[in-house]
Amino acid sequence: MTVIELLDKFEEYFGKEYTDAQRAAFVAKLTIFDERDLPRVYSEILEVSKRLPFIAEVFAVGRAWGLIGAAAEERVHHWEPTTCKLCAGEGRVWSVWGLSFDDARGRWMERLEHVMPYSSAEARNYHFLDGEYGRVARCRCEAGDAPTLPHGVPRWPENLEPVRLVR
Ligand SMILES: [Zn+2]
């Protein structure tokens, strides 16, 4: 089950709809879950929730079942500046994506809007517009291999699709 499928099932069951901004937030946050665990999240939410669930409730279920943990841990990360255009040496790339519904395809799509080093001033001061969310990735350069970066964080892909279907 994908995150989008999970949200669709919640809407169907509870007879209410998420706003686009709520959907975007779910898509951004729930990447921490393994898709194989989402059916369990769905079934558990039906037992504990009387209305369309918020992210906090989904995370509470995830913690109770031990579905999130190691990947969410943060360790102190030291780094030296480099000339890398993506991460500037910190090994972490932060990207901003925008969610929109493609009427022609009848599917949710996401579009890459900005890329910047994770702890840059630009990233810290960024204000999300409605439907936008951020993602962190390990850079393709050597800095992305640093042992202090959590391994659950995905690599920034070499051939990134700037517009893609949301799963
Ligand atoms: Zn880099």
Question: Which residues make Cβ contacts (< 8 Å) with residue 7, sequence separation at least 6?
Answer: 18, 23, 26
Task: Retrieve residue 119's tokens.
Answer: 């702890």
Q: Rounded distance, CA 22 to CA 20, Å? A: 5
Question: Which residues make Cβ contacts (< 8 Å) with residue 56, sequence separation at least 6?
Answer: none
Which phi and psi angles does 117 have, rounded to 5°?
-60, 140
pTM of the predicted model over 0.75? no
**Residue pLDDT, tens place only, 7-28:** 999 999 999 999 999 999 999 8
Please tell me the distance between residue 156's alpha carbon and the centre of ligand 1 in angstroms.
9
Look at residue 96 in the predicted model and tell me its pLDDT: 93
Please tell me the distance between residue 81's alpha carbon and the centre of ligand 1 in angstroms.
10
Please tell me the distance between residue 83's alpha carbon and the centre of ligand 1 in angstroms.
8
**Residue pLDDT, tens place only, 26-74:** 998 898 888 888 998 998 899 889 999 999 999 988 887 778 755 444 4
